[in-house]
Amino acid sequence: MMNLSPQIVMNNLLYSELADIYTAIAEDRDFKKECQYIIELYHEKAHHTQCLRSLELFAGPAYHSACLASEGLESYAFDSSSAMKSIAKSRYGFTDEHYILGYLPEDLRQFDPSKKFHIMLIMRYSLGLLNYEQVEQLLFKAAELIAPGGIIVIELHKIPLLINHFEKLDIKTREIVLDNGSKVNCRWPAGKIIWEEESWQVKMPIKIDVMENNKSISYDTTSIETIFTASDLRRIIRTNPLLSLFVPDTEQIFTQSKLLVLRGQNDF
């Protein structure tokens, strides 16, 4: 079984030297609509309305954190990529206090457990950047940081879309034009998905073609992920009395993914 170290994860060039391209191609969703829905999910069973605090893990360019901040939340972002942090600071004005660099799960201990979060996000299939043991550690620590009635929102792959190498995934191929006029074509996955024989870990080839001033540059990189399901997370949290899991109906908003919600079980 592959053990995903920070070095392996960062082998995906889209999270490092091509972070600006990732930021552009991934800005293809209605983040405001998604965040408003997530806030509604929180309020379904929790009624705290003053000074809500959010934390987005694996934040990347921090699209969701920026939207939550615009909705009045005290919003924090966390990622291991300094390139992504630079983009978030430039685009959205994040400060060093509100965008923290580190590796998960170990660096989640940077946060003071007495200062709880009402909403925690793990979006865009990012949980798959960790293995099972790391996810168990992450959720155990995250449960300690969640306020009574707070939620941890996790976006996972839809298993049926994995069939035939994401042939029915709308965002498999994306074409954009950057601010400098360069044309970008990104295919993710760009070919056959390679499955580990003893686990749900996969390697997805990625190909990025950039056309600038009539010159073409191609990049080949790889995304290494663990595919998690709702059943996996139920098993992982089965001994954690602080969390319960439910699967909301989000088909109209998250059409290409599966949303799971862990809710803190402390007294409200």
Q: Say yes or no: domain 161-225 is CATH 3.40.1180.
A: no
Work out the number of other CB atoms within 10 angstroms of the CB of residue 133: 11
CA dist., res. 223 & res. 18, Å (int): 13
Q: Give the separation between CA 42 and CA 95, rounded to whole angstroms.
A: 26
**d(Cα 14, Cα 207) in Å, to the nearest integer?**
10
Domain spans, the chain: 6-160+226-264, 161-225
Name the CATH topology of 6-160+226-264: Rossmann fold (3.40.50)
Are the C-beta atoms of residues 137 and 105 closer than 8 Å to each other? yes
Give strand ranges (E) for the chain: 53-57, 74-79, 99-101, 117-122, 146-157, 173-177, 183-187, 194-195, 201-212, 215-226, 243-246, 257-264
Rounded to two decimals, the pTM is 0.91
pLDDT per residue as tens, the chain (268 positions): 344 444 344 568 999 999 999 999 999 899 999 999 999 999 988 777 678 999 999 999 999 999 999 999 999 999 999 999 999 999 999 999 999 999 999 999 999 999 999 999 999 999 999 999 999 999 999 999 999 899 999 999 988 877 655 555 566 788 999 999 999 999 988 888 888 888 889 899 999 999 998 899 999 999 999 999 999 999 999 988 889 999 998 888 998 899 999 999 865 4
